[in-house]
Amino acid sequence: QKEVEQNSGPLSVPEGAIASLNCTYSDRVSQSFFWYRQYSGKSPELIMSIYSNGDKEDGRFTAQLNKASQYVSLLIRDSQPSDSATYLCAVNDYKLSFGAGTTVTVRA
């Protein structure tokens, strides 16, 4: 079983809609979780970090963490064409373990 799994894409959403990205992880003792955005041909960019159960909001992004269910998600509200990218979920257990990524396309 892979350490970090993300919902398979690609995910296509209309402009202005909510994009919902999901991620599960296998290690119960994991403490820190991150979402990175990677545009084609570019390196990953950190967009959210979350350490405690519940929601964390930053602009149009909301990360949700449920440690009991070993689940972390990312919501992108009011999706824009510039949000079209691959989103990577990562768990830090003294190293970052990444999911395979979910490619999001926001159609105008």
Partner 1 sequence: KAGVTQTPRYLIKTRGQQVTLSCSPISGHRSVSWYQQTPGQGLQFLFEYFSETQRNKGNFPGRFSGRQFSNSRSEMNVSTLELGDSALYLCASSQESGTLSEQYFGPGTRLTVT
By CB under 8 A, residue 31 contacts partner 1: yes
By CB under 8 A, residue 51 contacts partner 1: yes
By CB under 8 A, residue 32 contacts partner 1: yes
By CB under 8 A, residue 92 contacts partner 1: yes
By CB under 8 A, residue 93 contacts partner 1: yes
The encoded tokens of residue 48 equal 């959210």
CB contact at 8 A, 87 and 104: yes
- Residues 10 and 8: their CA atoms lie apart, in Å, by 7
Residues touching partner 1: how many (CB under 8 A)?
23
Place of tokens 């930053």: 58
By CB under 8 A, residue 77 contacts partner 1: no
Which among 92, 80, 64 is positioned nearest to 4, based on CA atoms? Answer: 92
19 vs 44 by CB, closer to partner 1: 44
Smallest separation, CB 5 to partner 1 (Å): 11
The Cα angle at residue 91 between residues 103 and 7, in degrees rounded to 5: 30
**Binding region for partner 1 (CB under 8 A):** 30-32, 34, 36, 42-46, 49, 51, 88, 92-101
